[in-house]
């Protein structure tokens, strides 16, 4: 998958890049989706997709915390994306945001909130792996913000 980063950005007022996610965002301490904003969507974008993934999870492919499709390219505020757009299955198979919950003592994990600008619309609600396999060639641009979280 190409790494195309030009103007597309995803930011949050709840954490800085490589900053700590608050406990309220953790799966077992509130499970509140961080407020996310998108800007710099490139021309030709038909749809945006957002995926939150933890590559540090002790599983072969990490753990996917959230996948969202059908986001209109004019959307800038993703705070209510869970309710407004098509949510795909997370790593546990549930169609919802599931916040950080690394094993206690496992150390700090990285939570990548990826935004993808696509030149086509995504069909259905694929898993993260299915999405990347099927739509990698349709990504015009992508970017991410990474938050950190540790269960002590």
Q: What is the DSSP string of the chain?
A: -----SS-EEEESS--TTEEPPGGGSTTTT-PPPPEEEE-PPTT--EEEEEEEETTSSSTT-EEEEEEEEE-TT--B-TTHHHHSEEE--TTS-SS-----PPTTS--EEEEEEEEEESSPPPS---HHHHHHHHGGGEEEEEEEEEEE---
Q: What's the domain count of the chain?
A: 1
Structural domain contains residue 3? no
pLDDT of residue 1: 44
Residue 18 pLDDT level (bands cut at 50, 70, 90): very high
pLDDT of residue 130: 97
| pLDDT single digits (tens) 100-150 | 999 888 899 999 999 999 999 999 999 999 999 999 999 999 999 999 999
Give the mean model confidence (pLDDT) for residues 73-87.
94
Structural domain contains residue 137? yes
Read off the CATH number of the domain in which 38 is found. 3.90.280.10
Does the pTM surpass 0.85? The reply is yes
Predicted confidence (pLDDT) at residue 3 exceeds the cutoff of 70: no
Residue 10 pLDDT level (bands cut at 50, 70, 90): very high
Residue 4 pLDDT level (bands cut at 50, 70, 90): low
Q: Which residues constitute the domain of residue 80? A: 9-150
Structural domain contains residue 2? no
């Amino acid at each position: 998958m190409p790494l195309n980063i030009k103007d597309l950005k995803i930011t949050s007022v709840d954490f800085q890049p490589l900053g700590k996610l608050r406990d309220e965002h953790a799966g077992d301490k509130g499970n509140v989706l961080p407020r996310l904003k998108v800007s710099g969507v490139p021309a030709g974008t038909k749809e945006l997709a957002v995926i939150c993934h933890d590559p540090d999870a002790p599983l072969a492919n990490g753990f996917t915390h959230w996948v969202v499709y059908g986001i209109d390219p004019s959307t800038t505020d993703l705070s209510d994306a869970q309710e407004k757009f098509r949510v795909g299955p997370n790593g546990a198979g549930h169609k919802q945001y599931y916040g950080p919950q690394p094993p206690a003592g496992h150390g700090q994990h990285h939570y990548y909130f990826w935004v993808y600008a696509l030149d086509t619309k995504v069909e259905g609600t694929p898993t993260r792996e299915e999405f990347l396999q099927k739509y990698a060639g349709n990504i015009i641009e992508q970017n991410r913000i990474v938050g950190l979280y540790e269960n002590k």
